[in-house]
Structure 1
């Protein structure tokens, strides 16, 4: 029997164990550009063992719900921030670490205008846009040495849209 999890709406409180939710919420911290731009300041904690922050562009193939989650990965040497360059919802799957392997996955639906910054070492699913284009800016560690661990889920888990 296939295990099923339901994707809940992404919110900062529920996502906090895994990382930061980046979104415009509340009043800006300050107004800049002659008062025409609100700055919502320092909304994510980038964390790298060494190396530097880099910005790459990812163009992922859109998927659909229900979605088969069969691979989780993590980056032990640095945080990873996914910033959509589109106005569509997208799927975020994460799992706590349980002694070097992923624990029970949790799924979130990120709304248009929401980005996430995953804490260093957080297990997460692959980039999962639900609509074309699947274009994202990704801010992560650029440096020497390996920074990717993968874990195949057997059996896979089905992710469905929550209520």
Structure 2
């Protein structure tokens, strides 16, 4: 048996319970570099228990829709940002916490120029690029301690295109 969830567009309001949308929608906060660059300032809250912020490069295999979601994970000691190194879409799958386990997931489909920062302890799917190179900058906690909890779903979800 498989359950289905549909993708939905990634918007700041819809994603707010899970993290921050990183994009350059609207007017920049400042114009810098001799008037040639708009700065969209302080768009995410990095949140780390001990440790420090680190920048890593991930190369993920491309996936496709429909996508079988059978694993969610979370990082109790730090937030985690996924910044694609291309203008290609990826899935941002998140779920509320339901007494220490993931609740019903939501699948957001990003647009070109969007990235995400997941709040600390937010259940989420694995990195799921749908096109392009699969290269991402990942900004997360570097430090000692167990910062990964995985939850395998007894009944997977099939993520389908909701557009």
What's the TM-score, normalizing by structure 2?
0.99
Contact 1:61–1:132 (Cα < 8 Å) also in 2: no
Deviations 1:55-93 (A, max 9, x none): 000000000000000000000000000000011111110
Shift of 1:142: 0.3
Residue correspondence of structure 1 range 42-121 to structure 2 within 5 A: 42-121=42-121
Matches within 5 A, 1:1-163: 1-163=1-163
The alpha-carbon deviation at position 131 of structure 1 amounts to 1.1
In structure 2, distance between residues paired with 1:73 and 1:132:
24
**2-side partners of 1:99 and 1:134: how far apart?**
33
Identify unmatched segments of 5+ residues in structure 2. none
Where has structure 1 moved over 6 Å in runs of 4 or more?
none
C-alpha distance after superposition, 1:31-53 (max 9, x if no partner): 11001000000000000011100
CA distance in 1, matches of 2:106, 2:21: 15
Q: TM-score scaled to structure 1, two decimals?
A: 0.99
Q: How many residues align?
A: 163
Alpha-carbon separation, structure 1, partners of 2:49 and 2:97: 18
Superposition RMSD on alpha carbons, in Å?
A: 0.6
